[in-house]
Structure 1
Amino acid sequence: MTLSRRALAALALIVCLPAGWAAAQDRLDIVATTGMIADAAREIGGDLVDVRSLMGPGVDPHAYRQTRTDITAMVRADLVLWNGLYLEAQMEEFLLDLGQDRPVVAVAEAVPENLLIGSEDYEGRFDPHLWMNPNLWARVVLNIRDAMAEVSPEHAAAFSANAEAYVSELNDLARYTTEVLSSVPVESRVLLSAHDAFNYFGNAYGYDVIGIQGISTESEAGLQRIGELVDLLVARDIGAVFVETSVSDRNVRALIEGAAAAGHEVVIGGELYSDAMGEPGTYEGTYIGMIDSNATTIAAALGGEAPARGMQDLLN
């Protein structure tokens, strides 16, 4: 759905958007596209913010289109936070248009280009899945902090203190994931999943990452691609592949069947959170829980040593 600036202005009048932005409200009203961004905004804002995530568990941001309810929420919001880097491909035109009139920030696009991975699907663009590396995501968290402080400068000190505490937790997460993933034998460090969401993960932890589909879930895997990957599974003696919560498992199961036909047994090593977190109110429904779960699942499936409950076991 695409709206012109004139239509956006009309909608703003319909919902009676105040001219005072955050100053007219006690709590900063934030709309975030993804759960990962929303989770960071809540950690930074605490009781000073109300945060709504447009995309919940199992939702694919590559294909998501804004609804009328989403449009109303974003027009009413004091601040709209989106990932950028073409993650929200179907929403990009709308978000850029909306940003001409109000605070709309693509929080991943301020990360230096030398830290980004190029996209094989889209020439001149970058892989948007920065959250797969906690150290890179910490940079995005600071961009979220700065965007919030820009809109609500009277709360900048509180946002800064909360962000510092949260980044410290992300540093703990990075240490845990590095330790548990390094327990996997070097020859077994191959992560094969539904689509290329894990390239930053591979760079951070020294894993070969293979997606059946490309960076965007909109790309399709043909029979030739499946056949090539079956040959790879056999040649490298890979015994486990992974499904994702926000992507159909159809291609993964086709790959397993193809390997079986070639006389090679492959199992599903577990379910990974790629483009969306777990259910609200659960540990996996937080960014830290999402990445902890992924690292623990991958390590256990590929022959490493991992606590049954991941990092939670080390904290209890």
Structure 2
Amino acid sequence: MNKVLIIGLFILTLSCKNAEKNDGKLKVVTTTTMLTDLVSEIGGDHISLQGLMGAGVDPHLYKASEGDVSKLYEADIIFYGGLHLEGKLVEIFEKMEGEKTTVSLGDMLPKEDLISSEYFASNFDPHVWFNVQYFKQFAQIVTDELSKADPENDQIYSENNLKYQQKLDSLESEIKSIIETLPKEKRILVTAHDAFSYFGKAYGFKVVGLQGISTATEAGVKDVQNLSEFIIKNNIKAIFVESSVPKRTIEALQQAVRAKNFNVEIGGSLYSDALGNPGTEEGTYIGMFRHNVNTIVNALK
């Protein structure tokens, strides 16, 4: 291959890369699937969006690949959960502060609204998306940040936000109606790890997780025995596995309960730290929330 052809190919490759870079769209990167869905709702086709984590991925334990780091450094805006949710990515985000726009959504909520936690460096439970009202605040923050970075499409982001806020209001009305069909004394939710405290506080459930708030903490034999006694004492009909947490701990809990001559069923799988597969109803925040509430209520009735 002669030098002229090589130079020509190099220039063509460079031109293609520049065209890709200068397509006029903001390059946005999100961490969790919940945030990817949210930012997609607000940004639509006017942003170039990449989510780092897929369905069933546990953000507590997630480690960035070399490809992930490249995506983060090439992004115009990064949206992440914050409150130490993405524990192993915190150092990367801290290094980027001042270099690019990094938005820690959970840390932008009023501290008085957060639930304290000794398990996280932030000292707060990061699973805030299980209160729809907090997710509505996330949507507004995302809208403001996209509008600031891309004022030409400000109106579009605002309109998309308005539509999504209305969808979230409808979702909350729907789930409250479903929960009302479950007697109050049966509203006890036992899951693999303590991800549902905001859900419990907002919608009237007592929530008990076998593991702590972070899946990095393992449940011990004593935890299993104590919780098995709690289940029997409160006559709990069903317990739940989670899509992003191995089900062996909940199965061990079920066996411990049955060993004491009490039957408890596994009521189904809940989505906690990640959405379902793309293209399914559970692959959206709204579909995930609806699935969880229906699963919980139907199993506990």
User: Which TM-score applies when normalising by structure 2?
Assistant: 0.91
Secondary structure, in 3 states, of the residue corresponding to 1:101? coil
Distance of 1:166 and 1:42 partners within structure 2: 11
Distance of 1:52 and 1:129 partners within structure 2: 22
Q: Count residues in correspondence.
A: 284
How far apart are residue 264 of structure 1 and its match? 0.5
**Which runs of structure 1 show a deviation greater than 6 angstroms over 4 or more consecutive aligned residues?**
none
* 2:215 is aligned with 1:206: no
Whether the 8 Å contact between 1:86 and 1:128 is mirrored in structure 2 is: yes
Amino acid at match of 2:141: N
The corresponding residue for 2:193 is: 195
**1:60-75 equivalent positions in 2, closer than 5 A:** 60-75=58-73
The corresponding residue for 2:123 is: 125
Distance of 1:120 and 1:269 partners within structure 2: 29
Whether the 8 Å contact between 1:23 and 1:152 is mirrored in structure 2 is: no
Secondary structure, in 3 states, of the residue corresponding to 2:207? strand
The corresponding residue for 2:161 is: 163
* 2:287 is aligned with 1:297: no
How far apart are residue 120 of structure 1 and its match? 3.2
- Which one of the candidate residues 44, 47, 50 is aligned to 1:46? 44
Whether the 8 Å contact between 1:57 and 1:276 is mirrored in structure 2 is: yes
The corresponding residue for 1:95 is: 93
The corresponding residue for 1:313 is: none
How far apart are residue 29 of structure 1 and its match? 1.5
* 2:37 is aligned with 1:31: no
Distance of 2:248 and 2:118 partners within structure 1: 22
Whether the 8 Å contact between 1:39 and 1:286 is mirrored in structure 2 is: yes
Structure 2 runs not aligned, ≥5 long: 1-13
The corresponding residue for 1:145 is: 143
How far apart are residue 24 of structure 1 and its match? 3.9
Q: Deviations over 1:237-266 (max 9, x none)?
A: 111000000001111001000000000101
123-132 vs 26-35, which deviates more?
Answer: 123-132
Distance of 2:28 and 2:76 partners within structure 1: 6
How far apart are residue 99 of structure 1 and its match? 2.4
**1:268-287 equivalent positions in 2, closer than 5 A:** 268-287=266-285
Secondary structure, in 3 states, of the residue corresponding to 1:109? helix
Distance of 1:41 and 1:253 partners within structure 2: 36
Distance of 1:125 and 1:115 partners within structure 2: 13
Whether the 8 Å contact between 1:120 and 1:214 is mirrored in structure 2 is: no
- Which one of the candidate residues 233, 237, 240 is aligned to 2:238? 240
Whether the 8 Å contact between 2:84 and 2:122 is mirrored in structure 1 is: no
Whether the 8 Å contact between 2:194 and 2:214 is mirrored in structure 1 is: yes
Secondary structure, in 3 states, of the residue corresponding to 2:263? coil
Distance of 2:258 and 2:135 partners within structure 1: 38
Structure number with the higher helix fraction is 2
Whether the 8 Å contact between 1:32 and 1:38 is mirrored in structure 2 is: yes
Whether the 8 Å contact between 1:103 and 1:151 is mirrored in structure 2 is: no
How far apart are residue 47 of structure 1 and its match? 1.4
Structure 1 runs not aligned, ≥5 long: 1-15, 304-316
Distance of 1:39 and 1:28 partners within structure 2: 16
The corresponding residue for 1:3 is: none
147-156 vs 77-86, which deviates more?
Answer: 147-156
The corresponding residue for 2:180 is: 182
Whether the 8 Å contact between 1:29 and 1:51 is mirrored in structure 2 is: yes
Secondary structure, in 3 states, of the residue corresponding to 1:44? helix
Measured on the aligned residues, the alpha-carbon RMSD in Å equals 1.6
Distance of 1:26 and 1:124 partners within structure 2: 36
Distance of 1:60 and 1:215 partners within structure 2: 12
The corresponding residue for 2:252 is: 254
Whether the 8 Å contact between 2:187 and 2:205 is mirrored in structure 1 is: yes
Distance of 2:108 and 2:23 partners within structure 1: 28
Whether the 8 Å contact between 1:120 and 1:215 is mirrored in structure 2 is: no
Secondary structure, in 3 states, of the residue corresponding to 2:107? coil
Whether the 8 Å contact between 1:182 and 1:205 is mirrored in structure 2 is: no
